[in-house]
Amino acid sequence: MLKFFRKIRQNMLSEGKTTKYFKYAIGEILLVVMGILIALQINNWNENRINSNKETAILANIHKEFQQNRKQLDSVVAQHRISHNNSTKIIKLFPIKSKPKPAVLDSLSFQLFWSFAGATFNPSQTSINALASTSSFDIIKNETLRDLLISWNDLITDYQEEELRSRDYIINQYDAYMSKHFDWNYNFKDERNNFDALQTLEFEYLVKNNHDLVNQILVSSGELKKVQETLDNIIELSKPNSND
């Protein structure tokens, strides 16, 4: 093709057709420019198609992963609520008398057993870690979704601080006290239980502090609500055809 155009130019010059030559040269330049532009457009189209396919696959993984994360969070929150509710019931019994009635002991046995908190939310981070490690967040077209994914790790870290504080308290103080005075399963029919421990200020303090730490997780800090809302938004925005 290049030889063909070159031959035409040579014939024009040899025949003295300068004006026609320049017109032809301009036309040839325009054809070359148009060819380059078309090639670039095709390349951009192919690149956009590839990125669109990648985004679709990434969003599918994110959607599935965060649905599982939402289920895990619901389960953890349910455990926190059980601990909070039973701690509340125990607090209502304060001060506990020296010789509680059998019915009170039965209820207290159940409530103490289920007052233990310590559950933690440990979401799967595979999809977000993959985006972060390859600096590929820009492949997500939806700006709102992209911002939520970028801020996810910081949000989870803030929320987990409350849960870890509660868990450490249970291990180092709450359980340490209870294990000295009560049966493993809080079987209050076992005479070796130290029922005098139920009347101490230390016991009341431990139960109240456990209640307050769980309350911080559920309500006071506000971090749980942020996590729940973010999870729901990510799930919604990563649904097929929701990110257009």
Give pLDDT tens digits for 132-186. 888 888 889 999 999 999 999 999 999 999 999 999 999 999 999 999 999 999 9
Contacts of 229 (CB under 8 A, 6+ apart): none
Q: Do 21 and 128 fall into the same domain?
A: no
**32 pLDDT tier (thresholds 50, 70, 90):** low
Cα–Cα separations (whole angstroms), residue 241 to 53, 61, 142, 236: 13, 14, 11, 10
* Percent of the chain with pLDDT strictly greater than 90: 64
* More confidently predicted of 222 and 49: 222
Is the N-terminal amide bond of 95 cis, ω within 30° of 0?
A: yes
Question: What's the pTM?
Answer: 0.79
Q: Do 199 and 103 fall into the same domain?
A: yes
pLDDT tens column, 200-234: 999 999 999 999 999 999 999 899 999 999 999 99
Within a domain: 176: yes
**17 pLDDT tier (thresholds 50, 70, 90):** low
Q: Which two tokens stand for residue 135?
A: 């600096």
* More confidently predicted of 224 and 20: 224
At residue 221, the 3 state secondary structure works out as coil
Within a domain: 49: no
pLDDT tens column, 90-108: 999 999 988 788 888 999 9
Q: Is the pLDDT of residue 18 over 70?
A: no
State residue 21's pLDDT score. Answer: 47
State residue 39's pLDDT score. Answer: 59
Residues 214 and 166 sit within 8 Å (Cβ to Cβ): yes
Q: Which of 57-66, 90-99, 233-242 tops mean pLDDT?
A: 57-66
* More confidently predicted of 14 and 122: 122
Q: Do 130 and 233 fall into the same domain?
A: yes
Q: Do 19 and 96 fall into the same domain?
A: no
Q: Do 13 and 79 fall into the same domain?
A: no
DSSP per residue, 66-111: HHHHHHHHHHHHHHHHHHHHHHHHHHTTPSPPSS--HHHHHHHHHH
- How many distinct structural domains can be found in the chain? 2
State residue 4's pLDDT score. Answer: 52
At residue 117, the 3 state secondary structure works out as coil
In degrees, to the nearest 5, what angle opens at C-alpha 83 toward C-alphas 77 and 160? Answer: 45
Q: Which two tokens stand for residue 80?
A: 């926190």
Structural domain of 30: 2-42
Q: Do 129 and 29 fall into the same domain?
A: no
CA 55 to chain centre: 18
Query: Out of 8-17, 123-132, 207-216, which region has the weakest mean confidence (pLDDT)?
Result: 8-17
CB atoms within 10 A of CB 168: 13
Q: Do 8 and 101 fall into the same domain?
A: no
Q: Do 102 and 221 fall into the same domain?
A: yes
Q: Which residue, 39, 182, 200, 15, is CA-closest to 111?
A: 182
In degrees, to the nearest 5, what angle opens at C-alpha 71 toward C-alphas 66 and 75? Answer: 140
Within a domain: 168: yes
Q: Do 124 and 187 fall into the same domain?
A: yes
Cα–Cα separations (whole angstroms), residue 193 to 38, 170, 172, 182, 241: 85, 20, 21, 5, 61
Mean pLDDT, the chain, whole residue set: 86
Within a domain: 242: no
